[in-house]
């Protein structure tokens, strides 16, 4: 079981890596800020890769395809369907929180099966409350609650 606030929407590279086990170099959003990061407070010209107050060139790298190793079991989202949001503010709402679990496989023999999940609030209900946290939701994220159970691998087709 892998769960928590991933600060990543369902289409992000981080979540896609967990679902599909692979992220390719051309992923739409995964690498969009790769060349914007730098340790100093200097500003970087993103087109040339040169810091504005120096002649230092930031070397651009070839982005690799990322694969999870076979030992990392395939995961599914224990809340089905994936909530439309777990964070809600006037300027932003999206799913950032997840409960992932592994399915039973011939390799692992045991896994998990979702039994039930707590209902998620609707967008219209949240819009009435303006944003999170509020008087009904004391956190800035909706709690994601699921009941899951151990399940053995079934070799029958």
> pLDDT per residue over 126-156, tens digit each?
999 999 999 999 999 999 999 999 999 886 6
Does the pLDDT of residue 52 top 80, yes or no? Answer: no
- What is the predicted pLDDT for the residue at 30? 84
22 forms beta bridges with: 67
* Secondary structure of the chain in HEC code, one letter for each residue: CEEEECCCCCCCHHHHHHHHCEECCCCCCCCCCCCCCCCCCCCEECCCCEECCCCCECCCCCCCCEECCCCCCCEEECCCCCCCCCEEECCEEECCEEEEEECCCCCCCEEEEEEEECCCCCHHHHHHHCCCCCCCCCCCCCCCCEEEEEEECCCCC
* The model's pTM: 0.78
74 pLDDT tier (thresholds 50, 70, 90): confident
> Average pLDDT for residues 14-43, to the nearest whole number?
78
């Amino acid at each position: 079981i892998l769960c928590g606030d991933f600060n990543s929407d369902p289409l992000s590279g981080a979540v896609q890596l967990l679902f599909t086990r692979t992220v390719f170099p051309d992923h739409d959003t995964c690498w969009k800020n790769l060349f914007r990061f730098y340790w100093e407070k200097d500003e970087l010209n993103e087109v040339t890769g040169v810091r504005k107050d120096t002649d230092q060139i930031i070397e651009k790298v070839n982005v690799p395809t990322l694969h999870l190793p076979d030992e990392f079991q395939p995961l599914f989202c224990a809340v089905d369907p994936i909530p439309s949001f777990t964070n809600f503010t006037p300027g932003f709402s999206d799913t950032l929180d997840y409960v992932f679990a592994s399915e039973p496989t011939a390799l692992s023999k045991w896994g998990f099966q979702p039994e039930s999940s707590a209902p998620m609030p609707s967008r219209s209900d949240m819009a009435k409350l303006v944003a999170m946290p509020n008087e009904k939701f004391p956190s800035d994220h909706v709690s994601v609650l699921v009941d899951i159970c151990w399940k053995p691998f079934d070799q029958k087709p």
